[in-house]
Amino acid sequence: MSNTALKIERRGRVVILENQHPPHNRMTLEYMDELERAVMSLQDDREVRAVVITAAGTEHFSVGMDLKQLRANADDRGGFEAVLDQRLRVLAAIEQLDKPVIATMFGYCLGGGLELPLACHFRFAASEGAQIGLPELDLGTVPAWGGTARLTRTVGRAHALDLILRAKKIDGPTALAIGLVHEVHPIDELKARAFDLAEELAAQPPLAVAGVLRAVVGAEHLPLDEALRIEREAVRRCSGTADQIEGMKAFIEKRRPNFQGR
């Protein structure tokens, strides 16, 4: 299935969402519209168990928002604030999906090209050639898609301030060292490795995966007693399900479980 700005490919229980504006893969207004529709549909699709967000080619993941298009067309979208509201809404929807989302990061991952991966649950970066950062201060402004908050929560205040206030661009190994990405791989293996992880996660019991995401992402900054309540609710939802019974049986029989999503 292919749209104008976003290619949607389904491989078994994994869906791959690919920005179709190489080489720079700018996040156009049309791309965000199509991405929002795709994410909304994925939330209710029980057959999809994991998502990969990537971009066409191997040059750049994304240089972020198409500023020329924004200046020319923002008024038609209700103004600049409305455009930002949509982008924040889409990233929040990705972050709150009840199935894991993996981002691939290669070449330029700047501005929105970093803020989108920050909303994903896993981030894989190229071991060579990546330039990752939030350079908005060079444009006289501030990251606008939740970059300040999500980057700080991901790497801590010291690294966030260092990256943002100095408009730094770091490579994949440096991003791995500060905890910004989970793994680095050669560029010619990066997308395949992200898909491998998606398949691995798709084989897990989906109700339990959703419970973990709810407990970790949704309760990350709640008081401990509230976070524990959310965790206990996730346990209750899994108790007695076919997948929970299968998991226990497979453990006893010393074999790999075959989770069916029930």
Give residue-wise pLDDT tens across range 99-130: 999 999 999 999 999 999 999 999 999 999 99
Residue 66 domain boundaries: 6-202
Q: Which residues are catalytic?
A: 115, 136
Averaged pLDDT for residues 67-82: 84
Q: Is residue 145 situated within a structural domain?
A: yes
Of 202, 218, 236, which residue constitutes the final position of a domain? 202
Q: Is residue 262 situated within a structural domain?
A: no
> 113 or 66, which is more confident?
113
Q: Is residue 20 situated within a structural domain?
A: yes
Radius of gyration of the chain (CA): 19
* pLDDT at residue 251, rounded to an integer: 86
Taking all residues of the chain, what is their mean pLDDT, rounded to a whole number? 93
Q: Is residue 65 situated within a structural domain?
A: yes
Provide the pairing of β-strand 14-19 with 6-11. antiparallel
Q: Could you report the per-residue pLDDT of 125-144, keeping only the tens digit for each?
A: 999 999 999 999 999 999 99
61 and 190 in a single domain? The answer is: yes
* pLDDT at residue 259, rounded to an integer: 87
210 and 196 in a single domain? The answer is: no
Residue 178 has pLDDT above 70, yes or no: yes
Q: Is residue 259 situated within a structural domain?
A: no
Q: Residue 124: what residue type?
A: F
Q: Is residue 260 situated within a structural domain?
A: no
3-state secondary structure of 66: coil
How far is the C-alpha of 128 from the C-alpha of 16, rounded, in Å? 23
Minimum mean pLDDT range among 33-37, 150-154, 159-163, 225-229: 225-229
Number of domains in the chain: 2
Q: What is the pTM of this model?
A: 0.92
191 and 240 in a single domain? The answer is: no
Averaged pLDDT for residues 84-88: 93
128 and 101 in a single domain? The answer is: yes
156 and 242 in a single domain? The answer is: no
Residue (of 94, 74, 72) closest to 84 by Cα position: 74
145 and 183 in a single domain? The answer is: yes
* pLDDT at residue 168, rounded to an integer: 97
92 and 141 in a single domain? The answer is: yes
How far is the C-alpha of 212 from the C-alpha of 102, rounded, in Å? 16
3-state secondary structure of 98: coil
CATH code: domain of residue 175: 3.90.226.10
For a pLDDT cut of 90, what percent of the chain falls above it? 76
* pLDDT at residue 3, rounded to an integer: 55
110 and 234 in a single domain? The answer is: no
Q: Which residues contact 45 (CB under 8 A, 6 or more apart)?
A: none
> 202 or 220, which is more confident?
202
Of 202, 217, 236, which residue constitutes the final position of a domain? 202
45 and 164 in a single domain? The answer is: yes
Q: Could you report the per-residue pLDDT of 227-239, keeping only the tens digit for each?
A: 899 889 998 988 8
166 and 228 in a single domain? The answer is: no
- Split at pLDDT 50, 70, 90, the class of 1 is very low
196 and 224 in a single domain? The answer is: no
Structure tokens at 101: 């989302």
33 and 100 in a single domain? The answer is: yes
Averaged pLDDT for residues 76-98: 92
Averaged pLDDT for residues 196-225: 93
Of 164, 185, 202, which residue constitutes the final position of a domain? 202
Averaged pLDDT for residues 214-230: 89
